[in-house]
């Protein structure tokens, strides 16, 4: 298997390597032959999100460069929970974790190639953890972990005041053991993950060194944040889910389209497979003519296509064009408008339902009080016209494209209502 010797340079250029073990040793390993590597995903929710996508796409980059992926779903680690600053997690039931394992697995598979010389392998750490005895675990794994070093980790330090259970404190042993297990079973010598995983990554590499006198590598991808340093995905619906049931392809596409100028280049490098030349061109165009948002459009189209496919991307684009285009909804043909609204989200309602109730029913606002407040603030629209009358009851004269009402809250939150 020949490998692409420029891989590491490309990863570095894309900003995908926030930390790594000995960089030169890593470079040597990645240029000498196909490296078996792994990246893990814990089933902590019914769907993966934007943060996980960074790992998935990075795995794909490595595979395309000739390396061999092992994608791990954390059936075991998901039962325990990685410690986080916000406090102790609530344990999920075995049934819940099992269900999420299945979903997460299905979300990873489309991005990797399971055929060929460097075909990917799916593993579940539940397989080698479930039957492990406590005594064996403590003797074989625990012995290699100095508690003083574990206490010095940032996450643990931050939790010492508020409290941390032994369960979460031990998480690093499980993840480290995974690396050791994959090293023994498959010869896996590289693990990567998000930068918040750095301690777990090096923990595994060190365990391999201590237990097997083996040489293993690790690197961490950066945390993707907004330019003010806060996390992405905290707007409106919460996280940026990959599951189309949890976040529509339209909403997903809209998210990328609305990314701030200052972040377009970084996101293009991390989330797309455009070449360096293509990305630099897009950055130049965005800098010169920011109002055209060429970078955002390319980003939104590329990522949505990766995650949801070409057809969904076209639907999302068409919907956006219809809703944001000229603003003249009456000028659209019925099929176009109906299709656009279905992307944005629609409900059915009976004739004579008040505008306030419609806002609530579409979910654009969370209560009638919120709806009235929004109208008072001038943030409520019907068919792209601002509504000022709190008591408005839409009638037949408001219908567009036959039986539709187009509700909007704020600048860009649309919902369709089909009257009938």
3-class SS of residue 191: strand
Interface characters, 201-240, with RNA (x: CB under 7 A): --------------------------xx-x---xxx----
Rule CB under 7 A: choose which of 200, 296, 346, 383 binds RNA: 296
Tell me the pairing of strands 413-419 and 404-409. Answer: antiparallel
Integer Cα distance of 138 and 109 in angstroms: 34
Please tell me whether 175 is known to bind a ligand: yes
**Residue ranges in 72-101 that form contacts with RNA under rule CB under 7 A:** 88
Size of the site for RNA (CB under 7 A): 46
Distance spanning both ends of the chain, measured CA to CA: 62
Q: Given the complex with RNA, which of 62 and 320 has the nearer CB atom?
A: 320
How does DSSP classify residue 40?
A: E
Give the residue among 233, 321, 189 at the shortest CA–CA distance from 47: 233
Q: Which residues touch 103 (CB under 8 Å, ≥6 apart)? A: 43, 46, 47, 243
Binding to RNA by residue 331, rule CB under 7 A? no
Q: Identify whether the C-beta of residue 37 lies closer than 8 Å to the C-beta of residue 191.
A: yes
Output the smallest distance, CB 97 to RNA, in A.
21
Q: Identify whether the C-beta of residue 270 lies closer than 8 Å to the C-beta of residue 206.
A: no
Output the smallest distance, CB 146 to RNA, in A.
20
Binding to RNA by residue 378, rule CB under 7 A? yes
Binding to RNA by residue 398, rule CB under 7 A? no
Output the smallest distance, CB 409 to RNA, in A.
5
Integer Cα distance of 299 and 263 in angstroms: 11
Binding to RNA by residue 353, rule CB under 7 A? no
Binding to RNA by residue 315, rule CB under 7 A? no
Please tell me whether 250 is known to bind a ligand: no
Give the residue among 169, 173, 175 at the shortest CA–CA distance from 136: 173
Tell me the binding residues for L-tyrosine: 38, 171, 175
Contact positions toward RNA, by CB under 7 A? 88, 160-165, 227-228, 230, 234-236, 254, 257-262, 290-291, 293, 296, 320, 324, 356, 360, 366-370, 372-374, 377-379, 390-391, 409-413
């Amino acid at each position: 298997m020949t490998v692409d010797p420029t891989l590491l340079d490309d990863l570095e250029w894309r900003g995908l390597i926030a930390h790594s073990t000995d960089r030169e040793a890593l470079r040597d390993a990645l240029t000498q032959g196909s490296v078996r590597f792994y990246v893990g995903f814990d089933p902590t929710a019914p769907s993966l999100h934007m943060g996980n996508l960074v790992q998935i796409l990075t795995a794909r980059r490595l595979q395309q460069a000739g390396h061999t992926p092992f994608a791990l779903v954390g059936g075991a680690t998901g039962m325990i929970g990685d410690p986080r600053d916000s406090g102790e997690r609530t344990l999920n039931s075995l049934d819940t974790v099992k269900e999420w394992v299945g979903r997460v697995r299905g979300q990873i598979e489309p991005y990797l190639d399971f055929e060929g010389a460097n075909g990917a392998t799916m593993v579940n750490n539940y397989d080698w953890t479930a039957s492990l005895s406590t005594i064996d675990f403590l003797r074989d794994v625990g012995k290699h972990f100095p508690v003083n070093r574990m206490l010095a980790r940032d996450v643990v330090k931050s939790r010492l005041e508020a409290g941390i259970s032994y369960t979460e404190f031990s998480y690093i042993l499980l993840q480290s053991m995974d690396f050791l297990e994959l090293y023994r079973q498959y010869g896996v010598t590289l693990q990567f993950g998000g930068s918040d995983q750095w301690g777990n990554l090096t923990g595994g590499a060190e365990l391999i060194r201590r237990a097997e006198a083996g040489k293993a590598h690790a690197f961490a991808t950066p945390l993707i944040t907004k330019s003010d340093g806060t996390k992405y995905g905290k707007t409106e619906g919460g996280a940026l889910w990959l599951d189309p049931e949890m976040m529509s392809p339209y909403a997903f596409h809209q998210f990328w389209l609305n990314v701030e100028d200052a972040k377009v280049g970084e996101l293009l490098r991390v989330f797309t497979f455009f070449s360096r030349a293509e990305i630099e061109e897009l950055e130049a165009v965005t800098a010169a003519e920011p109002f055209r948002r060429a970078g955002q459009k390319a980003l939104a189209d590329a990522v949505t296509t990766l995650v949801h496919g070409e057809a969904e991307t076209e639907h999302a684009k068409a919907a956006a064009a219809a809703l944001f285009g000229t603003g003249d909804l009456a000028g659209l043909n019925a099929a176009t408008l109906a299709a656009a609204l279905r992307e944005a989200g629609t409900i059915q309602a009976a004739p004579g339902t008040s505008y306030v109730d419609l806002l609530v029913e579409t979910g654009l606002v969370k209560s009638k009080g919120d709806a009235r407040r929004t109208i008072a603030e001038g943030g409520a629209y019907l068919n792209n016209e601002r509504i000022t009358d709190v008591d408005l009851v839409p009638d037949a004269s408001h219908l567009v494209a036959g039986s539709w009402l187009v509700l909007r809250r704020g600048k860009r939150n649309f919902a369709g209502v089909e009257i009938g």
